[in-house]
Amino acid sequence: MSNPVFFTPAGSLNGLGEGTEFVLEGPEARHAVTVKRLAPGEAVDIVDGAGVRMSGTVLEAEAGRLAVSCSSVTVEDRPATRLVLVQALAKGDRDELAIETATELGIDAVIPWQSERSIVRWKGDRAAKAHAKWQSVVTAAAKQARRAWIPEVRAAVDTPALAAAVGAAGLAVILHEDAVRPLRDVIESWQAAGSAEPREILLIVGPEGGISPREVTRLCDRGAATALLGHHVLRSSTAGPAAVVLCSDILGRWRTT
């Protein structure tokens, strides 16, 4: 079984080596001691959310303080091709469910999208609170999945801003029930023609009412492709995670050797 994971700020693990001691404090330490009830002698991983993972053994466990003896430090590189979920705002917390599951499956970043048919609206103070909630959701999901990277929650976009992002991406795919080409064909064709430079694939998921024809046209005019996930229509909360699974398989992101 893998070690439990607790987060520390990016950069705070720099300079550690075998045998050195690291002290985790604050909410993460309290969670480790009072909720997980870690005790001296138990194995644990401390990660900085930016790819650095320290594995070690608990030396001391007190309220709000966890001392760990470092046994190893590893740096996990970002994938050469990054997957970015563009998730339309949806009612009933389905958008949060989508980003939570996608994080557990390995998404690299998420973009909240205020689409034309989104019932939920991020305005004023609510926008900042909602963005912070999304970041909290992906952080908790990354911890659950024992990831060394916490996905970035980028600024919310409307359709004109998303169109600009599509133009700058390596590939942008609209998951659409009326598409003709399967997602696998779209990804494999792009992969065969791609360069070795770091690239991003935007996976665009609409709200419950679907992406409007006008939005599809606008995004496709900027270079997006439409793709079909399967024979059935998926909810807004499941389409993105399903696409992450398929793309990860095609791109070899889940290979262990």
pLDDT, tens digit (0-9, with 9 covering 90-100), for 112-168:
999 988 888 888 888 999 999 999 999 999 999 999 999 999 999 999 999 999 988
* Distance of alpha carbon 111 from alpha carbon 159, whole angstroms: 12
> What pLDDT is attached to residue 220?
96
Q: Look up residue 173 and give its amino acid.
A: V
Domain limits, CATH 3.40.1280.10, in the chain: 81-251
Q: Pick the residue with more confidence: 55 or 191? A: 55
According to the CATH classification, is domain 5-75 in 3.30.300.10?
A: no
CATH topology assigned to domain 81-251: Alpha/beta knot (3.40.1280)
Domain limits, CATH 2.40.240.20, in the chain: 5-75
Q: What does the pLDDT average to over 62-77?
A: 92
Share above pLDDT 90 across residues of the chain, in percent, rounded to a whole number:
71
0.75 surpassed by pTM: yes
